Structure 1
Amino acid sequence: MLPVAAGAQSQKPVITGARVAGDDTRTRFVLDMDRQVTPAISALASPYRLIIDLPEVAFSIATDSGKTGRGLIADWRFGLFAVGKSRVVMDLTGPVKVDKTFFLPAVDDQPARLVVDLVRASAEDFDEFVETSRARKAKSSKTSAPKSDKLTAEKDSDKPLIVLDPGHGGIDSGATGVDGALEKAIVLDFAKLLKEKLDESGLYNVQLTRDDDTFIPLLRRVEIGHELEADLFISIHADSVRRGQKFARGATVYTISDKASDQLAEDLAASENMSDVIAGVELAEEPTEVTDILLDLARRETRSFSVYFARTLVSELESAVRLINNPHRSAGFRVLRAHDVPSVLVELGYLSNEHDEKLLISDEWRARMANAMAEAVHGFFRPRLARRQAAPSQ
């Protein structure tokens, strides 16, 4: 996350510094800021995390401030979590208890400070803290949430509806490139460009799961495609390859499968599926196995369409950009789990590779990639569009 100048966005509180002190018995976390804010502190287990929710603030903290921990805090990160809400997430070394929280007003040249003191606790105490947090959030959501947050879009039966899903966002930056490019920014910019290309044709209704730097939970991304009755869902990423695959590069298209096609696909799915953990979201239980025969048939048909589009996309990309070896792969990506929406995940390239990173920020390369993907979409919907054109003459 890029630092924000202290004078910018003055209408928001500004956090100017942060630090961790202490040991594995008692640890203090401090946020320096220009004015007092009221935090909401909660906890999540599996893994152990402490969450500090704040009204939306401007973070003027160096990027590497969120990379180190100490004592009871193994690591921590910060960012925008939702509209009007910022969040700090701490990965803990084990169960803790919040011993005290207090706010120190600004004095002379010293900034205002939010202080949170943690002490080691038993697993039972931490579980009780989690339950209390959950109950408090549930009560708050009942009194403050609107009756429905379901999305609606004008459904033109003649126009296929496409949902473009830029990965990560807000507190979840995704991968970071060799030279510092952030995945969340790259994929959002590309999704907007692809939307422009598709909109120019006038053939589709194109929606984005996010159009700004906001975090969207994985399950919510799936729900958006379902609620909008999407005809195609494209999740867009630019990951960083780990576990010895440092030299992998090139675009890749993924579809969902119960068993990963290869180790790289399995590692990437595991990494992408951690997005909710990174942002401090309570993980929803995976849906139970489909038992209704009609739903099972729908899921099989949806997966067939997903594979068909993936192959169409790979065919278009081959002549436009560099592809990884075996460019159509599969794994258990949670964001592709809609049983009624054909879905693919596209890795534009790998930010762990310096050559790919340069391409991902190149306007010329991005235009070629977007054009090729638009052509793949045209090919996928060509039979439906042809029927629409032929209908008036019948």
Structure 2
Amino acid sequence: MPHSTRLPRTGLLRTVAALALAAGTLLAAGPAPAQDGPTGSQTGGAAVAIAAETVSRDGTTRLTLTLSRAIEARAFVMERPDRAVIDLPEVNFQLDQETGKMSGRKRDGAIASFRYGLFAPGRSRIVVDLTGPAVVEAIETTTTREGAVLVSIPFRKVDRDTFRKAAVAGDPSPAAKAAPKAPPKAASMNEAADTRPLIVIDAGHGGTDPGAIAATGVFEKDIVFGFAQSFAERLEQSGRYRLLMTRDRDVFVPLAERVRIAREAKADLFVSIHADSISAAPQVKGATIYTGSEKATDSESARLAERENRADAAAGTESGEGPADVADILQELTLRETRGFSAGFAGRLMGQLSPVMEMSTKPHREAGFKVLRSPDVPSVLIELGYLSSKSDLEKLQSEEWRARVTGSMAKAVDLFFSGRSTLSRPALVAPKRSAAIAPVSP
């Protein structure tokens, strides 16, 4: 799934008067609603961004934001790939329909594309893909007579050595680069005594990582979040399970954090929801179920896993440390048992989904997805369909189709947990020797 959210480039800034008028209209109407969370909550005091434009002149490319009030912005650059990261307090991005599609492919000077969104609670981020080495010069803030605030971020092209030095000098601390972890929720006595299976539902992408983008401008992150919510609600109705979602709104969650959430909660099942896109092959359609493996089933699966595993870089952060490598034969057996459970659930999913939705030519495949690396939580990743397929996109946006599919998925979950043997969560056995366990390479 392509992670670069690409914004259209007009090549010219709108006139200051037009921008100010838009800002004045918005301010007069009161604060705009923030990006919706699961209950449509609002951020109230967040600054509102109502326009984003780029212009290149005299060797400098400027990205200018129009905001409802002044904010503090911090920028740094990163290599592999070349990109700039603009960290902001929480911003409510209310851009016009054309800009909001974030699907343009025009380059403008030093900027190839950029994406934006909620990076963590209280923090927003803009990630700028650069056409080559470039540094961010002093960020300028001006206020129009009408009260709109213009934040101008200038990019100047430099040689590779200068860029590399800037990347090292501006490198934030590891804590600043990664999204902060949510504090663990203290379990009540009733929750601690609840022996129902715990299912973690992972809505792919989010925040600064939109995932695939349909030709209509629809984001994968929105499609899969809505589906994940419906699936959770369907399971909750039965009263048989405890549910936990890795993200409860449009926010970025690192890949390793998704795995950590499931493992620390001692989940009995992890289900990650996605929707792929292949713009070069719009005829390709249908759902695919993936389970984890070091060796991919085929080259297509390997490429998809590689794209998915770059999600952290797309959000302007480094990959977090994943689960430890297997360093003991007993742990190897635990991993095999877990993958056996994962394959068993994948088989039940195929059996239930095939009658209600179109499946791909190879409905069950394996690949090295980072979110499927938990050694002790059965895990699957479901690609619901292709946003590049017109028929798949129509189905993905249909409430009737969603109801049928989530109902069938719930039946697969019931079958998976119908035998008492499957309720025993694989226990990760500690290695007998005291040697340190090496971390998995990002």
Please say whether Structure 1 and Structure 2 have the same fold, judged by a TM-score greater than 0.5. yes
Aligned partners of 2:422 and 2:318: how far apart in 1?
Answer: 45
Which residue matches 1:343? Answer: 379
Which residue matches 2:222? Answer: 185
1:306-360 deviation per Cα after TM superposition (whole angstroms, max 9, x unaligned): 1111011101111222211221111111111111111000111111111111111
Q: CA RMSD in A?
A: 2.9
Which residue matches 1:79? Answer: 117
CA spacing shift, 1:267–1:160, aligned 2, 3 Å: same
The runs of 4+ residues in structure 1 deviating greater than 6 Å are 385-388
CA spacing shift, 1:355–1:161, aligned 2, 3 Å: same
CA spacing shift, 1:61–1:204, aligned 2, 3 Å: same
Which residue matches 1:112? Answer: 149
Aligned partners of 1:198 and 1:166: how far apart in 2?
Answer: 15
| Aligned partners of 2:287 and 2:360 also within 8 Å | yes
Alignment counterpart, residue 309 of structure 1, candidates 345, 357, 360: 345
Quick one: which amino acid aligns to residue 109 of structure 2? G
Which residue matches 1:49? Answer: 83
Aligned partners of 2:223 and 2:71: how far apart in 1?
Answer: 32
Aligned partners of 2:410 and 2:274: how far apart in 1?
Answer: 17
* Percent identity between the two aligned chains: 41
Which residue matches 1:392? Answer: none
Residue 33, structure 1, aligned to residue 67, structure 2: yes
Which residue matches 2:95? Answer: 61
Structure 1 window deviating more from structure 2 (281-290 vs 34-43): it is: 281-290
Aligned partners of 1:53 and 1:11: how far apart in 2?
Answer: 17
Which residue matches 1:217? Answer: 254
Which residue matches 2:396? Answer: 360
CA shift for structure 1 position 373: 0.5
CA spacing shift, 1:297–1:360, aligned 2, 3 Å: same
| Aligned partners of 1:80 and 1:215 also within 8 Å | yes
Aligned partners of 1:386 and 1:72: how far apart in 2?
Answer: 54
Residue 384, structure 1, aligned to residue 430, structure 2: no
CA shift for structure 1 position 110: 7.5
Quick one: which amino acid aligns to residue 281 of structure 1? T
| Aligned partners of 2:323 and 2:374 also within 8 Å | no
Which residue matches 1:98? Answer: 136
Which residue matches 2:55? Answer: 21
Aligned partners of 1:156 and 1:166: how far apart in 2?
Answer: 27
Aligned partners of 1:291 and 1:104: how far apart in 2?
Answer: 57
| Aligned partners of 2:120 and 2:180 also within 8 Å | no
Aligned partners of 2:69 and 2:153: how far apart in 1?
Answer: 16
| Aligned partners of 1:99 and 1:119 also within 8 Å | yes
Aligned partners of 1:356 and 1:287: how far apart in 2?
Answer: 34
Structure 2: 5+ residue runs without aligned partners? 8-22, 34-43, 425-442
Aligned partners of 1:122 and 1:237: how far apart in 2?
Answer: 38
Which residue matches 1:391? Answer: none
CA shift for structure 1 position 293: 2.3
Structure 1 window deviating more from structure 2 (201-210 vs 126-135): it is: 126-135
Aligned partners of 2:340 and 2:421: how far apart in 1?
Answer: 20
Quick one: which amino acid aligns to residue 408 of structure 2? A
CA spacing shift, 1:327–1:233, aligned 2, 3 Å: same
**TM-score scaled by structure 2?**
0.79
Aligned partners of 2:217 and 2:63: how far apart in 1?
Answer: 26
Structure 1 window deviating more from structure 2 (217-226 vs 296-305): it is: 296-305
1:270-293 deviation per Cα after TM superposition (whole angstroms, max 9, x unaligned): 222222122112233666742222
CA shift for structure 1 position 269: 1.6
| Aligned partners of 2:356 and 2:405 also within 8 Å | yes
| Aligned partners of 1:151 and 1:227 also within 8 Å | no
1:208-255 deviation per Cα after TM superposition (whole angstroms, max 9, x unaligned): 11121111111111111111111100000112124x432121221111
Q: Secondary structure at the match of 2:171?
A: helix
Residue 257, structure 1, aligned to residue 293, structure 2: yes
Which residue matches 1:134? Answer: 171
Quick one: which amino acid aligns to residue 98 of structure 1? V
Structure 1: 5+ residue runs without aligned partners? 389-394
Quick one: which amino acid aligns to residue 335 of structure 1? V
Quick one: which amino acid aligns to residue 67 of structure 2? M
CA spacing shift, 1:145–1:93, aligned 2, 3 Å: closer
Aligned partners of 2:311 and 2:87: how far apart in 1?
Answer: 18
CA spacing shift, 1:137–1:20, aligned 2, 3 Å: farther
Aligned partners of 2:173 and 2:215: how far apart in 1?
Answer: 41
Quick one: which amino acid aligns to residue 120 of structure 2? A
CA shift for structure 1 position 135: 4.1
| Aligned partners of 1:240 and 1:352 also within 8 Å | yes
Aligned partners of 2:423 and 2:54: how far apart in 1?
Answer: 63
| Aligned partners of 1:256 and 1:336 also within 8 Å | yes
Quick one: which amino acid aligns to residue 239 of structure 2? G
Q: Secondary structure at the match of 1:186?
A: helix
Which residue matches 1:371? Answer: 407
Which residue matches 1:236? Answer: 273
CA spacing shift, 1:272–1:24, aligned 2, 3 Å: farther
Structure 1 window deviating more from structure 2 (245-254 vs 177-186): it is: 177-186
| Aligned partners of 1:24 and 1:120 also within 8 Å | no
| Aligned partners of 1:181 and 1:357 also within 8 Å | no
Aligned partners of 1:24 and 1:315: how far apart in 2?
Answer: 61
| Aligned partners of 1:233 and 1:342 also within 8 Å | yes
Which residue matches 2:14? Answer: none
| Aligned partners of 1:178 and 1:353 also within 8 Å | no
Structure 1 window deviating more from structure 2 (170-179 vs 148-157): it is: 148-157
Alignment counterpart, residue 173 of structure 1, candidates 210, 219, 242: 210
| Aligned partners of 2:110 and 2:132 also within 8 Å | yes
Q: Secondary structure at the match of 1:27?
A: strand
CA shift for structure 1 position 26: 2.7
